[in-house]
Amino acid sequence: MDFLPFTRPTIDDEVIRLVTEVLRSGWITTGPKVNEFEKSLAAYVSSDTGKVPYVKVFTSATGALETALQVMGIGEGDEVIVPAMTFTASANVVALVGAKPVLVDVDLKTRNLTIEGVKKAITSRTKCIMPVHFAGLPVDMDPLYELAKQHNIRVLEDAAHAIGTRYKNRKIGSFGDMISFSFHPNKNMTTIEGGALVLWKEAEAQQVDLLRFHGLQKDAFGNMDVLMPARKFNMPDVSAAVGIAQLKRLDEFCSKRLKLVDTYYQLLNHPLLNLPERGDDGHCWHIFSPLINFTQLGMTRPQFIQKMADEKIGIGVHYQALTTFTAYKDMGYSCPQAERIGRETVTLPLFPAMTKVDVERVCQTVLRYLN
């Protein structure tokens, strides 16, 4: 029996054809494919509303987040509200621009921050709220944007998990302030490594162009000027070619994930399991991560992961709470829900090439050990 990983990207013949085309062209860094990919992404996210945003692609979603904070003017002395249950990049970029990540607890079922938690965390120094659409389940954005408007606070959506997700029949990225997507290999679509930033103001889009490539500006004759010190986050055409092919199948990938998750919900029922919030059909299902009460089970998570590996089933962990990391644990934040999720979470296999039989195998194995 083959090993079943917790995730695997779908690399089809069209991806290979487009990458080969780029390699043979002799132009493999940022060029025509990046331009095409950005236009395709803008068309995709705006297909529900018709309002076309600016889309800028990056070598990573982390780079997109950091650049977005810089464009927002966030730095020393400022505070950014970040959920304690997220990948560490969400808080790291805040610290890297010199601001303070203010960690707030999340809901146990949705794994998302709550409007009540955000309200309590706002101070006179709060300049931005960074909601994370955990696992692709959208945060309730309407009240969050209303709250941000009341306090004159920017919103940077960490939508690393949420490419393809809809909130109230609108794609994430089709509305709002700034939105960052990830195209890491374990996401719903990939560019090998990469990310994108969606924004709406032309002046801010122009600033992004500077900040993602050395602060460098050229005129029509090739004369250069550096307007500010900046990093290098430009995506190469090879990655963009992968993204162009992947984007064409994104909705198909999300639909397959939804069907697989339906089977998980049908088969996984046990008192030691706490399943994540299901949401509606707009949920793109980047990961499926139930909680297991390992104390009652009498087994540690590493032991459980090893037993599943012995059965040739891969298990991931998404994620430890930020409050448990050395970089953030001494900041004084108490986030018991996030910390419980961090202790109990396991990520079960979920990717488009899986079959219903694969899900049944996972569920049978999990339930056997829980029993």
Interval 135-180: pLDDT, tens: 999 999 999 999 999 999 999 999 999 999 999 999 999 999 999 9
Cis peptide before 328 (omega within 30 of 0): no
CATH architecture classification, 250-370: Alpha-Beta Complex (3.90)
Question: What are the DSSP E strand ranges found in 26-117?
Answer: 54-58, 79-83, 100-104
* Percent of the chain predicted with pLDDT > 90: 98
Max CA separation in the chain (angstroms):
72
What pLDDT does residue 204 have? 98
Question: What are the DSSP E strand ranges found in the chain?
Answer: 54-58, 79-83, 100-104, 126-129, 154-159, 166-167, 170-171, 178-182, 195-199, 216-218, 224-226, 273-274, 291-292
Enumerate long-range contacts of 42-48, CB under 8 Å, 24 or more apart.
Answer: 42/198, 44/171, 44/247, 44/250, 45/171, 45/172, 45/173, 45/174, 45/198, 46/174, 47/171, 47/174, 48/166, 48/169, 48/170, 48/171, 48/174
First to last CA, the chain: 23
Q: Average pLDDT, stretch 70-91?
A: 98
Confidence class for position 107, pLDDT limits 50, 70, 90: very high
The pLDDT of residue 1 is above 90: no
- Joined tokens for residue 75: 């730095």
By DSSP bridging, strand 273-274 and strand 224-226 are: unpaired
- What rounded mean pLDDT belongs to the chain? 97
Q: Average pLDDT, stretch 24-50?
A: 96
Q: Average pLDDT, stretch 204-217?
A: 97
DSSP 148-215: HHHHT-EEEEEETT-TT-EETTEETTSSSSEEEEE--TTSSS--SS-EEEEE--HHHHHHHHHHTBTT
**Among candidate residues 357, 341, 252, 360, the one with its CA nearest the CA of residue 289:** 341
Cα–Cα dist 10/6, whole Å: 13
Q: Average pLDDT, stretch 28-49?
A: 96
The pLDDT of residue 201 is above 90: yes
Residues carrying an active site annotation: 187
Q: Average pLDDT, stretch 179-200?
A: 98
The pLDDT of residue 266 is above 90: yes
What pLDDT does residue 48 have? 86
What pLDDT does residue 250 have? 98
> Are 13-248 and 250-370 in the same CATH fold?
no
DSSP 4: B
Q: Average pLDDT, stretch 295-313?
A: 97
Q: Where are the domains of the chain?
A: 13-248, 250-370
By DSSP bridging, strand 195-199 and strand 54-58 are: antiparallel
Confidence class for position 265, pLDDT limits 50, 70, 90: very high
What pLDDT does residue 84 have? 98
CB 257 within 8 A of CB 330: no
What pLDDT does residue 308 have? 98
The pLDDT of residue 287 is above 90: yes
What pLDDT does residue 26 have? 92
Cα–Cα dist 175/112, whole Å: 19
The pLDDT of residue 293 is above 90: yes
The CATH number assigned to the domain with range 13-248 reads 3.40.640.10
Q: Average pLDDT, stretch 58-77?
A: 98
CB 253 within 8 A of CB 188: yes
